[in-house]
A and B are shown apart, each in its own frame.
Chain A
Amino acid sequence: MSTAKKNTKGIINWIDYRLPVVSFLKHSAVDYPTPRNLNYWWNFGSLAGFFLLVQIITGVILSMHYTAHVDHAFDSIEHIMRNVNHGWLIRYIHMNGASFFFIVVYIHIFRGLYYGSYKAPRELLWWLGIIILLLMMATAFMGYVLPWGQMSFWGATVITNLFSAIPLIGDNITQWLWGGYSVDNPTLSRFYTLHFLLPFLIVGVVVLHIVALHTHGSNNPLGIDRKGPQDSIPFHPFYTIKDLFGLSFALTIFFAVVFFAPDFLGHPDNYIPADPLKTPAHIVPEWYFLPFYAILRAIPDKLGGVIAMFSAIFVLFLLPWLDTSKVRSATFRPVYKILFWIFLIDAIVLGWVGSKPAEGIYIIISRIATLYYFLHFLILLPLLGKFEKNRPLPESIGKPVLAE
């Protein structure tokens, strides 16, 4: 890097002149100019990075004690819980870490939705985020299969069977995924490999996500571009401290769950070893898949349900162009602000209905909520940009603060 000082004094300068690690960090994590008005909703990006790191560290450790074989997988998990030193702690952190990773990422996404962080010039930043979400979903799904309990087995069976909905080649694809005629040892073995591999791909996409972020800098609660240096403050110490403070809160909640309710977010049926001859009476995925599961079940057609479920995520790729408003932040969009909260409630309703049996009133609710989900993106947002009258935007980020 050309900014590296030619100062030859000291070991750090000697190294930095040849390999600019220090000046790179200084450039991107210390001096990095950040909007001065970021609120606590901007903590969730670094929190997501933290939980990714926790998952990788605990996951690598668990892999030292886990056995990816149908005859031993369940027992090796119990071995971790009972015999391995601190194994219970490491596994509970990994198990709940997955849930917290999703909580943090979902909040991060809704932050982006509220403040219009997906709009130009941050479309690719948004896309990379959705790719991370998709990779996370694949990783979490395959990780849930590894303990080889009843929910692992039947979850894997149901999800892999989604691909059998594809016309003509569906059955060939599911057999290819399974490595056989049902979920069995070859499936477990390849899921283990992929569950180990994908997090490192996520790290790669996260790096791209950060490169894209640092190209135009963070969006901010006002959603307007920075006009000059008076609108920025250096990342360190202002946002390092703010992020650490937020992290201490997140960790307090996280460890309260890990120590006092470690199985609260899981399903007790997964402590029964997998039995290919008996499906549990009520089978649901992990909570973070429930809204999508509800959309899948809302459509009374096998292929249609699968298409709707995948579309629910893929529609996010089109969002930068579906939202035709030039104003980013919902603070200045009175109607969008209302629609945002309705959409959030809609997503929560979908999650709730996804946890209920697919019968009676729940089917009707899931259909209305699914319809609204797509209505929001495909009809309301494109039209809103044309008709909504936004509140006047401030001249600059610093102005309202500095003027008074």
Chain B
Amino acid sequence: MSENKKSKKKSRRSFIHQASGAMGVVAVAAAGWPLVDQMNPSKDVEALATIEVDISGLSEGQSKTVLWRGKPLFIKHRSQNEIDEAKSVNIEELPHPENDDERVKNPKYLVLIGVCTHLGCVPASDKGDFKGWFCPCHGSHYDTSGRIRKGPAPTNLEIPPYTFKDNNTILIG
């Protein structure tokens, strides 16, 4: 047998080895995926990921806390003063510049995830230097739009996805 033929045979064999090795990797990955995916949120957890909140009883100045996906959610019925204050800020000066308009669907109702963006504590309502929220853990101050103004938190309080189903009901999630 010539040298040429021999090396050709060899490369065919190594191709078969590599091809079956690749198939083996694909098979193990496919078999392994269910074992990994089982730790993701299960169907019953996903089913509770959307809630409806009735805001008919919420008068001006009042706020309400509800539990959504295991986290507190603040719904604040803002007074005209608070809205004006939130709008009058020069956003150039903010650590995380966002207009109040971008943060609300209806300026009267502010909906926030009540988790401090620093390390996950729950800020207290109507406290702090900017009359919004104040986180007792490490002293972050948020204003009436839930924006960070002072303290170690890097970003504004998060806004969850929501829509107004009608005038009195918010659908969150």
Interface string of A82-112 (1 = CB under 8 A from B): 1111110110000000000000000000000
Kindly state the separation between the CA atoms of A9 and B115 in the bound complex, as whole angstroms.
Answer: 54
Are the C-beta atoms of B34 and A86 separated by less than 8 Å? Answer: yes
Are the C-beta atoms of A85 and B44 separated by less than 8 Å? Answer: no
Question: Does B119 touch A at the CB level, under 8 Å?
Answer: no
Question: Does B16 touch A at the CB level, under 8 Å?
Answer: no
Q: Which residues of B contact A85 (CB under 8 A)?
A: 34, 37-38, 40, 42-43
Question: Does A57 touch B at the CB level, under 8 Å?
Answer: yes
Question: Does B1 touch A at the CB level, under 8 Å?
Answer: no
Interface string of B88-104 (1 = CB under 8 A from A): 00000000000000000
Are the C-beta atoms of A86 and B37 separated by less than 8 Å? Answer: yes
Kindly state the separation between the CA atoms of A83 and B37 in the bound complex, as whole angstroms.
Answer: 12
With beta carbons under 8 angstroms apart, the residue of A61, A79, A89, A90 that contacts B42 is: A79
Are the C-beta atoms of B35 and A61 separated by less than 8 Å? Answer: yes
Kindly state the separation between the CA atoms of A89 and B40 in the bound complex, as whole angstroms.
Answer: 15
Q: Which residues of B contact A281 (CB under 8 A)?
A: none
Kindly state the separation between the CA atoms of A132 and B44 in the bound complex, as whole angstroms.
Answer: 39
Q: Which residues of A contact B37 (CB under 8 A)?
A: 85-86
Are the C-beta atoms of A83 and B34 separated by less than 8 Å? Answer: no
Are the C-beta atoms of B43 and A83 separated by less than 8 Å? Answer: yes
Are the C-beta atoms of B35 and A83 separated by less than 8 Å? Answer: no
Q: A-B pairs with CB below 8 Å: how many?
A: 34
Question: Does B28 touch A at the CB level, under 8 Å?
Answer: no
Q: Which residues of B contact A65 (CB under 8 A)?
A: 38, 42
Kindly state the separation between the CA atoms of A374 and B123 in the bound complex, as whole angstroms.
Answer: 76
Kindly state the separation between the CA atoms of A65 and B40 in the bound complex, as whole angstroms.
Answer: 12
Interface residues of B in 67-124 (CB under 8 A from A): none
Question: Does A64 touch B at the CB level, under 8 Å?
Answer: yes
Kindly state the separation between the CA atoms of A83 and B41 in the bound complex, as whole angstroms.
Answer: 9
Interface string of B27-67 (1 = CB under 8 A from A): 00000001101111011110000000000000000000000
Are the C-beta atoms of B38 and A83 separated by less than 8 Å? Answer: no
Q: Which residues of B contact A89 (CB under 8 A)?
A: 34
Are the C-beta atoms of A83 and B44 separated by less than 8 Å? Answer: yes
Q: Which residues of A contact B45 (CB under 8 A)?
A: 83
Are the C-beta atoms of B42 and A83 separated by less than 8 Å? Answer: yes
Q: Which residues of B contact A86 (CB under 8 A)?
A: 34-35, 37-38
Interface string of B152-164 (1 = CB under 8 A from A): 0000000000000
A236 CB to nearest B CB, Å:
14
A70 CB to nearest B CB, Å:
21
Q: Which residues of A contact B40 (CB under 8 A)?
A: 85
Q: Quick one: closest A residue to B39, CB to CB?
A: A64
Q: Quick one: closest A residue to B34, CB to CB?
A: A86
Q: Which residues of A contact B38 (CB under 8 A)?
A: 61, 64-65, 84-87, 90
Are the C-beta atoms of B42 and A57 separated by less than 8 Å? Answer: no
Kindly state the separation between the CA atoms of A89 and B30 in the bound complex, as whole angstroms.
Answer: 13
Q: Quick one: closest B residue to A88, CB to CB?
A: B34
Q: Which residues of B contact A87 (CB under 8 A)?
A: 38, 42
Q: Quick one: closest A residue to B42, CB to CB?
A: A83
Q: Which residues of A contact B34 (CB under 8 A)?
A: 85-86, 89-90
B23 CB to nearest A CB, Å:
12
Kindly state the separation between the CA atoms of A230 and B154 in the bound complex, as whole angstroms.
Answer: 74
Kindly state the separation between the CA atoms of A65 and B34 in the bound complex, as whole angstroms.
Answer: 14
Residue from B38, B43, B44 having most chain A Cβ neighbours under 10 A: B38
Q: List B residues at the A interface (Cβ < 8 Å).
A: 34-35, 37-40, 42-45
11 more A-B contacts (CB under 8 A) besides A82-B43, A84-B38, A84-B42? A61-B38, A65-B42, A79-B42, A83-B43, A83-B45, A85-B37, A85-B38, A85-B43, A86-B35, A89-B34, A90-B38
